[in-house]
Amino acid sequence: MLLWTTQKGIKTFGLKSESFAEETKVLAANQGLYNGFLAAGIIWSILSQKTDVAIFFLICVFIAGAYGSFSTKKPRIFVIQSIPALLGLVCLML
């Protein structure tokens, strides 16, 4: 969200240029905010120890990763975001 237009952000996300990063920074900030809400939900579920809350947010994270991977045609997103959420769901079900 905050590092999108820096050299590190451009390299991390494989952006084609600094101007592209500048043009898309509002979209990136919006996406970062959504991911922040998902992270807040996971933290809330841990602190409250409510399994149903954890399941809801882990499913949201899984779907977000699956959609992101599908829509961008980048399987790495699925590996980094969806698989850990799925593993968390499996652990909760045990």
pLDDT digits (tens, 9 = 90+) for 57-90: 999 999 999 999 999 999 999 999 999 999 999 9
Q: Where are the domains of the chain?
A: 7-93
Rounded distance, CA 59 to CA 66, Å? 10
- C-alpha 63/C-alpha 41 separation (Å) is 15
Model confidence at 2, in pLDDT bands (50, 70, 90)?
confident
Q: Is the pTM of this model over 0.85?
A: no
The residue assigned the tokens 């905050």 is 2
